[in-house]
Amino acid sequence: MTKMLSLRAVSVAAALFGLGVVSGVPFYLAAGTPTDRQVPGTDAWPVFIVLTAVTGLWALLEVRRRGAAVLIAPYRSRAVRRLAATVQCGGHLRRAAVGFLLLLNAYDLWRSGVQVVGGLAPDFTTNAWGGPGYLGAMYCHYLVAVLIWGVSAVVLDRLLLTLPTGDRPGDRPGDRPGDRPGDRPSGRPSGRTSV
């Protein structure tokens, strides 16, 4: 399954998460004595118990329907090629929607990194979902991050232009200049397959 991963996509994701971890350090260093008091009910555990069940069921159904590779779908080489095709050939609205989802995912990765070190500051998790403890706040934050990632991955799969199975733009006969006299490659992907 790791052979399908795009080094570029994984590197960008790791860099965003790492930047988030570094960004969380000032929150921890600035932490002093806790100034906020935990307000009862702000931990929202009943909601997160339901969200845990829904997320687990959804993940199980997706893995059974599409295989374990669905867990890494946005980081696969094919998804990166589909993104490139969308940037090159997609309409303005499609590109704007894809750009928004990519920014949302970038923020989600960065914010997940911030939680690692920043969450050690007592005020950082006071009145947070799952707070006031570090592990509870981390669990709830990462559950929301997984939901954002999962929903945006499904929407991106619908928005990104698709490529013929097993082909890259320019690799098909007739797509290379000179393959057929007088023909210009369209370079436009067609059809719909999963990420």
Percent of the chain whose predicted confidence (pLDDT) is above 90: 50
What's the confidence (pLDDT) of residue 166? Answer: 56
Token duo for residue 72: 């890494």
pLDDT in tens, 14-25: 999 999 999 999
**Residue (of 92, 82, 98, 74) closest to 169 by Cα position:** 82
pLDDT in tens, 23-44: 999 989 988 776 778 788 888 8
Min mean pLDDT across 41-45, 94-98, 148-152 is at 41-45
Give 169's pLDDT tier (boundaries 50, 70, 90): very low
Cβ–Cβ < 8 Å for 91, 121: no
pLDDT in tens, 55-82: 999 989 988 988 877 778 889 999 999 9
pLDDT in tens, 137-146: 999 999 999 9
The sign one gets for the Cα dihedral 180, 181, 185, 186 is negative
Mean pLDDT of 140-165: 89
Cβ–Cβ < 8 Å for 173, 179: yes
Give the other-Cβ count within 10 Å of 124's Cβ: 23
* Residue 183 pLDDT > 80: no
What's the confidence (pLDDT) of residue 174? Answer: 41
pTM of the entire predicted model: 0.76
